[in-house]
């Protein structure tokens, strides 16, 4: 952030501190050994009274987050809405050349090729993920998107008909410079396909799972539309998806010039009120979840975290329950036998639970809500135990789920 504190979206200088999260680990640092470093940070959040944007006060340096993370890959997620998103863009303009900014291991690039894009280039700051994409045959630049990177890419490849920007902008502190580089990469009237996490339902539920040390900005849909207008894009299509906790997306067309900072800026009052309520609701969720886990252990339950993804790490850290978890289980083979950040627990495959849990198990479901029914079926098949579950991620209501788990524990006494 700048020395003079200001909103990274609208430039407003009336920023209100809301809360801090203490002792957060870096969620993609899955250590190999117990004595490997597990750095922790205090992360403060503030909101802009001019536009309502929630943002991190002082971001953890990007190089520290991304450069060493050898498990920072996303292809395993297989989001089922990608075909719809790409089809929406192709309906607006025939597939020509495209660049995927934040391409990670190349999963979206493969989908773009299948959809008919003739030239597909990637940009990815994490060298390990970028190399995986290259091994699949893709052309990938290893860099953050800034003006120099944009100029270098255009000099070699020319401008692009479409720029895909999925789950990237929430990581960016200097939005004005970032979007200037986006505009450099696009042909006049080129398409920007933007996808962002949907945080509004999480705010309403008081869920800490929507926060992340990597996410500098937290956009409501209204703020995302304002951002596009602010930096010179006209929205053509809107989409909303529930996969992975929820997201919303836009297909937008680049216009001749960015708009004034005040053009299209939404009324901030409803968002500021929502954020203030969120702080109180989050505190209650922390207390209730911690109390449930303690109660379950007192009743003889073993506690398992199913899913070692960043949102699970965040929940464990914020709710201060790392010392009360007995097992961490994840289906991803690349993170098994690594330590879940913020804990002293190795990530194990599901079959290690068989016969080790006694007869009672509380499962914290750190998976996308759309996959919970699959996980419950796996657990009930693999583990001979009485089970209670807690849904951790929106759109499921964790407080309702905590109440259900309490009733299940009481019934099993």
**Structure tokens that stand for 29 in this block:** 């640092």
pLDDT at 68: 59
**Structure tokens that stand for 13 in this block:** 């200088």
Neighbours of 394 (CB within 10 A): 25
pLDDT at 2: 41
Number of helices and strands in the chain (H, E): 12, 16
The CA distance from 196 to 225, in Å, is: 11
Q: Is the peptide bond before 395 cis (omega within 30 degrees of 0)?
A: yes
E strands, 57-185, are 97-101, 119-123, 139-141, 160-166
**Structure tokens that stand for 9 in this block:** 């979206």
pLDDT at 19: 96
**Structure tokens that stand for 135 in this block:** 């091994």
Classified as helix, coil or strand, 240 is strand
264-281: b or e for each residue (b if 16 or more CB lie within 10 Å)? Answer: ebbebeebbebbeebeeb
pLDDT at 128: 86
Strand partners, 234: 253
pLDDT at 381: 87
Contact between 340 and 366 (Cβ < 8 Å): no
Domains of the chain (ranges, CATH numbers): 75-266 (3.40.50.150), 290-411 (3.40.50.720)
pLDDT at 74: 58
Per-residue model confidence as pLDDT tens for the chain (413 residues)? 345 588 999 999 999 999 999 989 988 888 999 999 888 999 999 999 999 999 998 888 887 777 655 555 554 556 778 999 999 999 999 999 999 999 998 999 999 999 999 999 999 998 888 999 999 999 999 999 999 999 999 999 999 999 999 999 999 999 999 999 999 999 999 999 999 999 999 999 999 999 999 899 999 999 999 999 999 999 999 999 987 778 999 999 999 888 877 788 999 999 999 999 999 999 999 999 999 999 999 999 999 999 998 899 999 999 999 999 999 999 988 889 999 998 999 999 998 887 666 789 999 999 988 889 999 998 888 887 889 999 999 999 999 999 999 999 998 86
What pTM does this model have? Answer: 0.91
């Amino acid at each position: 952030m700048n020395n003079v504190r200001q909103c990274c979206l609208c430039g407003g200088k009336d920023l209100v501190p809301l809360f801090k999260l203490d002792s957060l680990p870096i969620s993609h640092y899955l250590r190999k050994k117990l004595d490997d470093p597990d750095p922790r940070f205090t992360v403060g959040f503030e909101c802009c009274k001019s536009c309502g944007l929630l943002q991190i006060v002082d971001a953890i340096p990007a190089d520290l987050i991304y450069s060493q993370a050898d498990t920072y890959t996303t292809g395993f997620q297989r989001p089922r809405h990608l075909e719809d998103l790409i089809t929406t863009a192709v309906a607006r303009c025939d597939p020509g050349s495209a660049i995927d900014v934040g391409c990670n291991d190349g999963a979206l690039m493969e989908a773009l090729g299948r959809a008919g894009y003739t030239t597909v280039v990637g940009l990815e700051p994490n060298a390990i993920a970028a190399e995986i994409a290259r091994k699949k045959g893709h052309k990938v630049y290893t860099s953050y998107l800034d003006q120099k990177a944009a100029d270098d890419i255009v000099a070699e490849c020319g401008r692009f008909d479409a720029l895909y920007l999925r789950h990237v902008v929430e990581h960016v502190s200097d939005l004005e410079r970032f979007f200037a580089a986006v505009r450099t990469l696009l042909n006049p009237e080129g398409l920007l396909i933007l996808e962002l996490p949907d945080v509004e339902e999480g705010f309403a539920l008081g869920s800490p799972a929507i926060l992340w040390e990597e996410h500098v900005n937290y956009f409501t849909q209204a703020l995302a539309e304002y951002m596009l207008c602010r930096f010179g894009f006209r929205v053509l299509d809107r989409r909303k998806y529930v996969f992975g906790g929820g997201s919303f997306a836009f297909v937008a067309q680049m216009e001749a010039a960015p708009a004034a900072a005040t053009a299209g800026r939404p009324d901030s009052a409803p968002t500021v009120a929502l954020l203030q309520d969120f702080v109180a609701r989050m505190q209650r969720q922390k207390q209730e979840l911690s109390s449930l886990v303690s109660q379950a252990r007192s009743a003889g339950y073993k506690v398992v975290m199913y899913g070692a993804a960043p949102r699970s790490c965040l929940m464990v850290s914020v709710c201060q329950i790392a010392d009360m978890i007995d097992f961490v289980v994840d289906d991803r083979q690349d993170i098994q036998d690594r330590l879940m950040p913020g804990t002293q627990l190795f990530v194990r495959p599901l079959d290690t639970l068989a016969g080790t849990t006694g007869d009672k198990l509380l499962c914290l479901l750190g998976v996308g809500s759309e996959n919970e029914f699959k996980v419950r079926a796996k657990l009930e098949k693999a583990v001979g135990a009485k089970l209670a579950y807690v849904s951790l991620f929106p759109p499921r209501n964790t407080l309702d789920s905590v109440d259900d788990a309490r009733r299940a524990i009481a019934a099993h006494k």
